[in-house]
Amino acid sequence: TYVVTDNCIRCKYTDCVEVCPVDCFYEGENMLVIHPDECIDCGVCEPECPAEAIKPDTEPDMETWVEFNRKFSEAWPNLTTRRDHPEDAEKFDGMEGKLETHFS
Ligand code: SF4
Ligand code: F3S
């Protein structure tokens, strides 16, 4: 599976949802997640994210992110079309510690 990681928080560009062939993105207030059981591992979303927040679970230490994506994809609504990103998205791109301070 691919997962959305913390750099999505407050950037939320949503370019990713446009390309997913199985519509497996779910939307929280400040970020999106991928449902790990629905993702078919096609990889097309990874290069679409301007914040480089999407990673394959084959990268090291991704178990926590897989579980994070699973947990919230079961709680949040599905998102299948792009929306305007937050006006201050750029300010948050690359910021450290967003999970601790800006996730809600
Ligand atoms: Fe969707 Fe493919 Fe990205 Fe998985 S890897 S979330 S199936 S676009
Ligand atoms: Fe987030 Fe990147 Fe998608 S910032 S909403 S994972 S395009």
> Has residue 23 been placed in a domain?
yes
What is the residue range of 13's domain? Answer: 2-81
Asked if residue 11 has its Cβ within 6 Å of ligand 2, the reply is yes
**31 in any annotated domain:** yes
For the segment 40-93, what is each residue's pLDDT rounded down to a tens digit?
999 999 999 999 999 999 999 999 999 999 999 999 999 999 999 999 999 999
How far is ligand 2, taken at its centre, from the CA of residue 31, in Å? Answer: 7
CA of 9 to the centre of ligand 2 (A): 8
Mind listing the pLDDT tens digit for each residue in 86-98?
A: 999 999 999 999 9
Look at strands 32-34 and 2-4 and give their pairing. Answer: unpaired
- Give CA–CA dist 70/20, Å, rounded: 17
Give me 93's structure tokens.
């791109």
Ligand nearest to the CA of 37: 1
Give the integer Cα–Cα distance in Å for 4 and 1: 10
Its ipTM equals: 0.98
Q: Which letter, b or e, does each residue of 30-68 get, where b requires 16 or more Cβ atoms within 10 Å of its Cβ?
A: bbbbbbbeebeeeeebeeebebebbbebeeeebeebbeb
For residue 19, the domain's CATH number is: 3.30.70.20
Question: Where do runs of H (alpha helix) occur along 1-104?
Answer: 15-19, 63-73, 89-92, 98-101
Nearest-atom number in ligand 2 for the CA of 17 is 3
- Is 90 domain-assigned? no
pTM: 0.97
